[in-house]
Structure 1
């Protein structure tokens, strides 16, 4: 199964939606809460240049994008393959 990382904030509905989609597929993920900023926020900005919104999602180190991007991959039938399902 792929390594999934997701940068989130506490109050973020899009983050909750992305996590719910991953959980519905039984996929474990590493969540980085950047609500208060800090080094993980800086890391996200380096890994996803120009993207300041959350969530930002990475699958096996490749930037997927945000919640809408994740949902689009799922609708197109491409997400399961990326996740190694």
Structure 2
């Protein structure tokens, strides 16, 4: 029984590593030249900023370098944006929202991790 289980686990690992998955008698392989990806969709990215915020500019540069488009809300000029910012726990700018993940302040490694987790290609 133990050997049979280990054999099944090994077969699954090989199937996953080679891009071949089995379900019953059906087999599906990844076409040559294509890479198999998890089924994640790119999430919406929103940036809450204030004028003359150096870290907001760094966040913009990072998103631009990664080829990410985003919505930007200036909390100094929009009462609606300010309310959203506060509701998301904002206390300082930038406040970066990637999908359902809220990043308070500029943290390049957290932004990169969240982008990757939400289907954006790493650069």
Which TM-score tier does this pair reach, normalised by the shorter chain?
A: 0.7 to 0.9
Q: CA deviation at 1:38?
A: 1.2
SS of equivalent to 2:43: coil
Alignment of 1:25-40 (within 5 A): 25-36=66-77, 38-40=79-81
Unaligned runs of 5+ in 2: 1-41
Higher relative CO (Cα under 8 Å, sequence separation at least 6) belongs to: 1
Q: CA deviation at 1:37?
A: 5.1
Q: How large is the RMSD of aligned CA atoms in angstroms?
A: 1.8
Instruction: Tell me the TM-score normalised to structure 1 length.
Output: 0.79
Cα 1:79–1:35 change in 2 (3 A) is: same
8 Å Cα contact 2:103-2:110 kept in structure 1: no
8 Å Cα contact 1:59-1:82 kept in structure 2: no
Equivalent residues, number:
79
Cα 1:34–1:80 change in 2 (3 A) is: closer
Structure 1 residue ranges (4+ consecutive) displaced by more than 2 angstroms after TM superposition: 77-80
Q: Which has the larger radius of gyration?
A: 2
The alignment status of 1:82 with 2:123, answered yes or no, reads no
Match of 1:11 in 2: 52
Instruction: Tell me the TM-score normalised to structure 2 length.
Output: 0.57
